[in-house]
């Protein structure tokens, strides 16, 4: 079950995105139908996974046909990537060993997200998307420095990019909510979108 505090977390992050988008202006070229960031597997937390599953459950009631298409894409994606998955294919959890992390760096880099409708270029679970998706594009600071989408901020100086930095102070809240989900579900560790949704699909069929 998705923690009640997740709604507050999403509101904070979405407000921060709106603020940095305003400051970035035309340098931020992210738009509906741009799907470069929707290709390639990436790690998500159990909080993200639970949000996605909740979103799929809601969609199954509101638009069963679209939900069914996600089900199909998830099954096809898992079939393609399972053999090379650096983790447990039964649980969908990523291995945390150094060797597995090295393998993950080159894992499924050409695999489209199963939530992406490639015909429309739109995310079918946009409101329930993971935190990584919510902050990708604008300048975001990490241990590697200030990063932006390679399609954005062409011609901007380092100072201009820094002035548009997305300011987030949500790490503690996100960690607290993720721990709450892990305690509730008794599932610990990161996964990826395809395996997170496969769990929801299997549960709905049982």
pLDDT at 101: 94
Contact 18/186 with Cβ under 8 angstroms?
no
Distance CA 31, CA 17 (A): 13
Over residues 180-197, mean pLDDT: 97
Convert the pLDDT of each residue in 104-158 to its tens digit.
999 999 999 999 999 999 999 999 999 999 999 899 988 888 888 999 999 999 9
In the structure, what pLDDT confidence band is assigned to residue 96 with cuts at 50, 70 and 90?
A: very high
pTM of the prediction?
A: 0.93
Mean pLDDT rounded to a whole number for the chain: 94
pLDDT at 204: 64
Contact 192/92 with Cβ under 8 angstroms?
yes
Convert the pLDDT of each residue in 20-38 to its tens digit.
999 999 999 988 889 999 9
Contact 113/38 with Cβ under 8 angstroms?
yes
Nearest of 133, 177, 136 to residue 7 by alpha carbon: 177
pLDDT at 40 over 60: yes
pLDDT at 18: 94
Domains of the chain, residue spans = 5-200
Distance CA 79, CA 94 (A): 17
């Amino acid at each position: 079950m998705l923690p009640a505090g997740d709604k507050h977390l999403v509101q904070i992050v979405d407000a921060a995105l709106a603020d940095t988008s305003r400051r970035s202006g035309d340098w931020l070229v992210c738009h509906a139908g741009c799907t470069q960031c929707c290709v390639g597997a990436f790690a998500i937390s159990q909080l993200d996974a639970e949000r996605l599953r909740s979103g799929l459950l809601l969609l199954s009631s509101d638009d069963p046909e679209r939900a069914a298409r996600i089900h199909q894409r998830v099954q096809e994606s898992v079939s393609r990537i399972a053999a090379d998955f650096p983790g447990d294919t039964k649980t969908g959890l990523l291995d945390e060993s150094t060797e597995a992390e090295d393998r993950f760096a080159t894992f499924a880099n050409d695999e489209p997200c199963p939530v992406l409708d490639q015909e429309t270029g739109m995310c079918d679970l946009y409101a329930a998307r993971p935190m990584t998706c919510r902050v990708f594009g604008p300048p975001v600071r990490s241990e590697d420095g200030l990063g932006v989408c390679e399609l954005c901020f062409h011609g901007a100086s380092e100072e201009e990019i820094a002035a548009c930095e997305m300011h987030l102070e949500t790490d503690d809240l996100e960690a607290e909510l993720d721990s709450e989900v892990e305690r509730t579900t008794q599932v610990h560790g990161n996964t990826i979108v395809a395996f997170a949704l496969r769990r929801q699909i299997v549960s709905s069929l049982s």
